[in-house]
Structure 1
Amino acid sequence: MFNLFSSCKSSPSNSILDRNTDKNISSLSKLSTYNWSLFDIPSGAHTTINGSTIQIVLPSPYMGIGVDSMGNYVYSKIGGTVSITCECKSGNGGCSPGQVGGTYACVMKECKNCSKLNSIEDANLNTILKEMIIVDTSEFSFIQSMEELEGKLILPQDFYNLPIVTSKLKELESHLLPSSNITLRKLVPISLLGYIVFIDIPADIDNTSPYLHVFGDSNSNTTCNCDIGTDCPYKSKLVAKWCDATNCKKCTMSGSVYSFDSKVVQSLSIINGRIHLSN
């Protein structure tokens, strides 16, 4: 076996799903509409629900990172506090927070427009944000099996310009091993900050990772499908590629994921930012 990169260090993958304090609300499974949060709850986090607001006090080394409508990033302290507020903008109410699995959502009942407001609370900061993630800033690892992908969140598109993300992508790009045929390519998943990122690499420089065929390849069924809206084409930043949902309210990435030796194939779909595998 040979390595994908010449001199990049990786650390073991850290699960940020709090399975010990996971408190599912059984009635939520009967409801059809959720406004999902794009993060999982770290083990050791302290959560409080007060009316329509969920407050999450993060353990070290986790922090919240948000992006506002202008594309500016806002950071909590390590071990800081973030919150979500659910607000019904149209309808008869019924827009309330609930924990589903390892994450939170604003759950719609009678409400027709259930808004999720993200904020990061610090000593002198309480900013309403377009989107928010919770990250372990030290986490980076290579994905070795398809099983590691199931249920994982992909990095939301608004965060590919984060300095910590672009720095790691530049490092990966500069340390790619030489290829004998750069025109044959594949998408390989890595875990960065606790989120999955798909990177576009020459097909012959890695034989240890699961992979997808790249967008547009003649052998590829990897696609971005817009179910509600205009379109969601694939987009790239350095070696990273993703489906751009700027003009799409419901954008789904799908395709076939192969084991490193191509002997096992499963169908992959990304719905609400989370990876699902099936035979």
Structure 2
Amino acid sequence: MSSFGTSPSLTGKPNAVLVPPGQCQFNEDFQSVKLLERTHVSPTSCVVRFSLSDESKPLGLSTCSCVLAKAKTAKDPEGVIRPYTPISTNEQVGSFDLLIKSYGDDSLMSKHMCQDMAVGDTIEFKQIPVNIKIQAPFPYKKVGMLVGGTGLTPMVQALHAILGSSDAPQESVAMLYGSRDAGDILGKDLLDVWTKDCADKFSVTHVLSHEPNDSDWKGERGFINKELIQKHLPSPDEEGIIIFVCGPPPMYNALCGPREEKEVGGVLGEMGYKPEQVYKF
């Protein structure tokens, strides 16, 4: 396979360009936009850049928010719809970027974006009220992040707001980031730079579930668990804390209970975290 590139959205310093909800170029009606470019950033993932209807303005996305993508594929001619969280900021004018992980034929939309679409092909996007998530600036002293795979994308939005603003009230942000193996860590270069430049506030602990036993990986192995949460994330007994969670359904089930349920289950529930201390993206 050819060498992998680097997307501008996965480089550079954190940048807080916040706008309130209601200014996004996408509304509740699907709009067709073009694929401008695609950069493969790992064996299984890529960053795709799409045009905007008004090329003189940024996307206007509030932090944190996602959009809905709709595409007709050979296996689903009626159209498949999936939510995605842009990783570009409102500093970017005329286009926006998504970080996509392709799981092969099991995920029609990700395969469509990462493999099947050609530059110039169109796809539809819209945004509805439920796509607008917890909003920055966040009123918490300490933030913990439990992340799996492309669950990184809303955290990138949040980190731009926290680390890119001198007025953010956060004392610390600690992330536990679960991936399959060292080559599958999405956005690692970006996180490495931010943890170095913001070492007094931001830390990341990678946890690899399928890293080969004979590799030279010196970090954590297995899955995110109670011991790692106790070691790295703020305690439920502290005041002014929040735990952000985003990842695949099994991760929600194990760590905090299903995403659709407000109550906190799983490991966080056992540890005593309250619903107001946990936000499920």
TM over 0.5: no
Structure with bigger strand share is: 1
Structure with bigger helix share is: 2
What TM-score results when the alignment is normalised by the length of structure 1?
A: 0.33
What TM-score results when the alignment is normalised by the length of structure 2?
A: 0.33
